[in-house]
Amino acid sequence: MSNVKLGLLVLWPTFWTGFPIKMVVALLLLAAHVHPWEGVGLEALLLLSIPIDIWALGLCARTVFLERLRVDPPQGMGLRLWAYWAGFSVVYLPLLYFAVGGVKALAKSATEATIHFVEESLMVIPIAEKITLELVMWGMPTTIVLIVLVYGWLFGLGALAQRFVRVSTPVDGTFQDIVYKWDLLRIPKDQPLLLTAFTGAGVVLVFVFWGLIPVSTPHPHEDYEFVNVKKVEPKIIPKDVIKSAEQVLARAEATIKELEKENPKGELPKNGKAQAAKEGSKPPTK
């Protein structure tokens, strides 16, 4: 098996095996207002990741060795392989970061110069087209360099894993036997104990989570801060209420007197009853 393939086959499941456990830690840190990507949070997460990665790497590498290479690796491979991989990655990944960053900066300036030249000498490119064109122009070489360097990284990881292949013992038996063997790696001896421990840990973590998270929003927006505008209830002063009621009654009395003067007999106009009934059925209008 090629180094790149072996590196990828071990790295991919290792990442996903450790990921959920690390996520639990990251979420608890977030709930406690500690950013897991800076300062103490990052240090805590990295420190906790070490035993998780050693365990996940040992489990996943052993599975790949058994299933794909049909060899039984030596005991304690997880720790030793992790140490090799960590040492290599500490040197390689910063180089990858700076190399990709450098290529990106170079490609961006070359793209800007090219676009500027085209616009000066040939035609004006509309803004939406220009954005996509620029993105593709600097993104393509950057992505190619990134892929090549990741390929190199996987090659290195695979080459380090190959050291363990050489000292592993071949496994006899059918494919079914081998599957059964690596499957047993994942099944605990005392299953009810593991399930109880998992459930217990889950319950504790749920309580810790709800105990830590803020009740109200931890991020009030600086531009759109909530202003709780409470409607001011008008003060009720009994004297004023009586006074205004008296005024209303006085106006009503004056209106009635005026109406009596205009129509002293209180007669209704022609069709008055029908008209009055019609008026009465109408909904009140403001």
User: Which residues make up the interface to other proteins (CB under 8 A)?
Assistant: 16, 19-20, 23-24, 26-27, 30-31, 126-129, 131-132, 135-136, 139, 174-176, 179, 213, 215-221, 224, 226, 228
Listed as own residue / partner, the contacts of 92-99 with beta carbons closer than 8 Å and 24 or more positions apart are: 92/152, 92/153, 92/156, 93/153, 96/146, 96/149, 96/150, 96/153, 99/145, 99/149
Distance of CA 15 to the CA centre of its chain: 18
Shortest distance (Å) from residue 16 CB to other proteins: 7
Which lies closer to other proteins via its Cβ, residue 56 or residue 160? 56
Shortest distance (Å) from residue 231 CB to other proteins: 12
Which lies closer to other proteins via its Cβ, residue 159 or residue 212? 212
Enter the tokens of residue 13: 């499941």
C-alpha distances (whole Å) from 52 to each of 20, 37, 267 are 10, 18, 99
Shortest distance (Å) from residue 185 CB to other proteins: 13
Which lies closer to other proteins via its Cβ, residue 105 or residue 242? 105
Which lies closer to other proteins via its Cβ, residue 169 or residue 176? 176
Burial profile 14-48: b = 16 or more Cβ within 10 angstroms, e = fewer: beebbeebbeebbebbbbeebebeeeebeebbeeb
Q: For the chain, give the number of residues.
A: 286
Which lies closer to other proteins via its Cβ, residue 219 or residue 235? 219
Shortest distance (Å) from residue 27 CB to other proteins: 5
Q: Report whether 7 contacts 161 (CB < 8 A).
A: yes
Q: Three-state DSSP class for 37?
A: coil
Shortest distance (Å) from residue 155 CB to other proteins: 21
Nearest to 50 by CA among 75, 76, 74, 85: 85
Which lies closer to other proteins via its Cβ, residue 26 or residue 61? 26
Q: Report whether 252 contacts 67 (CB < 8 A).
A: no
C-alpha distances (whole Å) from 211 to each of 20, 28, 44 are 21, 10, 20
Q: Report whether 12 contacts 57 (CB < 8 A).
A: no
Which lies closer to other proteins via its Cβ, residue 113 or residue 195? 195
